[in-house]
Copies of this chain bind each other. A is one copy, B any other.
Amino acid sequence: MLKEERHNYILNEVRIRNRVLLTDISKKLDVSEDTIRRDLNHLDEQGKIKKVHGGAISSSFHLYSYREDQIYAHESKSVIAEKAIKLIQDDSVLLMSGGTTNLEVARLLPDDKRITVFTPSLPVAMQLLVHPLIETIFIGGRLSKDAQIALGGEAIRTLSQLKADLCFMGTGNLELAAGLTEFDWEVVQLKKAMLDSSKRMVVLTISEKINSSQRFNVCPTSSIHTLITELSPTSEMLKSFVEKGLEIL
């Protein structure tokens, strides 16, 4: 394994998780801890990461900050991402929202898939650029500091010109009766536009976010074609959604 590969791997991990443990990387990449330590120090000198005792953390931004309870969630998101990726056909047009689950999708996309992806999410776009065959189009607009996505009229106008084959919608709030909801009014507008701009709406969410709702409504449950969670489709929790006619993966 090349040194630069390790560096890329580490930077990627830091970008996604906002932290890495030295021992974890050492085990994962099967090289000595000394080597990883040298790597981390090297990347720190370049200002790419911040070396701390026992590992490293992101040096710049803190949206996807680390919390104990999110470590477990990350595993689930990988499972969801794997399922989602299977839906993508070659030469199709994909629309991806923001959020950590979609970021995981972007990270895990195979390098030999040739697709076009539209996204208003800065981290997702950044991640997509890594893949050689993927054409990435950023949906511009005023950037939200919190979500690191483009919002507002400009973004919605761009979306109105588009009809994607597939839309991967990451969300924190899905409930049977209320449907898809959001806290932020502007995000609601954007997500509505995304819904209108795609033939098939796929919602990606971890099970713990199901059955919670926010104050503004994006769309009813019936507007969603497919729901992907880390659970098995036969899970008790998802029963009511199956009855509503949703495809569960």
Contact = CB atoms under 8 A, between A and B. Distances in A.
B126 A137 contact: no
A216 interface: no
Contacts of A139: 140
A145 interface: yes
Chain A contact surface mostly: mixed
B122 A129 contact: yes
Chain copies in the assembled complex: 2
Interface residues of A, number: 50
A186 to B, nearest CB: 14
A58 interface: yes
Contact of A61 (B15, B130, B150): B130
A129 B46 contact: no
A51 to B, nearest CB: 10
A141 interface: yes
A233 interface: no
Given A60-B132, A120-B140, 7 more contacts: A2-B19, A3-B54, A4-B19, A122-B125, A137-B141, A137-B142, A138-B138
11 contacts: A3-B52, A5-B19, A17-B111, A18-B111, A61-B129, A122-B122, A129-B143, A129-B148, A137-B140, A138-B141, A140-B150
